[in-house]
Amino acid sequence: MSDQEIRFFLSLFAFFSTMFGACVGSFLNVCIYRVPRGESVVTPRSHCPHCNALIPWYLNIPVLSWLALRGKCANCNGPISFRYTLVELLTALLFLAVFMKWALPAVCHVSPITNVAAVPCYWLMLAGFIVGTFVDFEHYIIPDSVTIGGMAAGLVLSGLVPSLHNETVWYWGLAESAAGMAGGFALLWAISWLGEKVFKKEAMGFGDVKLMGAIGAFMGWQSVLFTLFVSSLLGSISGILLIALGRGKLQSRIPFGPYLAVAATIWLFWGPMLMNSYLKLISR
Ligand SMILES: [Zn+2]
């Protein structure tokens, strides 16, 4: 293939990754709304939350429909939350980023790391993070389908794609995953137990404990330590900011799942790089 042909196919694949992400984001919106309400994510078809009118497929196109209708229902003019578009854009962007990082070097032969198989695995993991984050913001829970489902998916995919943990045989991939899951689960469980003893109230939800298990199952024990450190840092900074802005109190309840998800996403894209520069810094 000529350079030009390669570039053409790459842009095509990148385009489809983004479009696919937007469509998955559209489905994640359904999950974010319905899973915590105990409704089916398959039926009934999408309807307006105000007037219950069915939304036809041509008004249910990710991002574009929301823009065309200026965030209003075509039937009753009721406001449609920007959150729907935000979730679609976020999913599209993250799907493209995963494609660029894990499939592009392999396809362009610029890097010996060929890990195209990791792409769908990380897509699934990030989809879980997005659902967990937005549900936690609204309901202060993280659905079991995200946390327990994430642990199960992480284990199975690590056996199928051991390169997720830089391994080449399935049982080492599985072993790394199991170690990460157990480590993440035990660490947050210990912290939540300790927090309850010290503060005499629930310091961390059990959903957070299970979510950390899922993070470890997908990315190993190193990701657990990094995620704990960075999420605590982000949580403290935003807590202080909220208090400074008069939007929160020391006692106000802040969902911790979103911080775990953001920190784990930072690890996915930049973690090993950040860790190496940190190790270089302290070894000087
Ligand atoms: Zn309506």
199 — pLDDT class (breaks 50, 70, 90):
confident
Rounded to two decimals, what is the model's pTM?
A: 0.92
Q: What is the mean pLDDT of residues 84-100?
A: 95
Shared domain check, 131 and 99: no
Q: What pLDDT shows up at residue 59?
A: 87
Q: What is the mean pLDDT of residues 258-263?
A: 96
CA 71/CA 73 separation, integer angstroms: 7
What's the token pair of residue 244? 């400074």
Shared domain check, 156 and 264: yes
The residue assigned the tokens 């030009």 is: 4
If you average pLDDT over each of 30-39, 99-108, 202-211, which comes out highest?
Answer: 30-39
255 — pLDDT class (breaks 50, 70, 90):
confident
Task: Output the CA 80–ligand 1 centroid distance in Å.
Answer: 9
Give the chain's count of helices (H) and strands (E).
10, 0
Shared domain check, 133 and 91: no
Q: Which of 12, 4, 32, 60 is nearest to 258 (CA)?
A: 32
Task: Output the CA 76–ligand 1 centroid distance in Å.
Answer: 4
Task: Output the CA 66–ligand 1 centroid distance in Å.
Answer: 13
Q: 47: helix, coil or strand?
A: strand
Shared domain check, 10 and 105: yes
Task: Output the CA 31–ligand 1 centroid distance in Å.
Answer: 20
Q: What pLDDT shows up at residue 44?
A: 82
- State which residues form the domain around 217: 117-284
Q: What pLDDT shows up at residue 8?
A: 83
34 — pLDDT class (breaks 50, 70, 90):
very high
Indicate the number of domains in the chain: 2
Task: Output the CA 50–ligand 1 centroid distance in Å.
Answer: 5
Task: Output the CA 55–ligand 1 centroid distance in Å.
Answer: 9
Q: What is the mean pLDDT of residues 238-245?
A: 85
Shared domain check, 197 and 81: no
Domain-ending residue, one of 90, 113, 136? 113
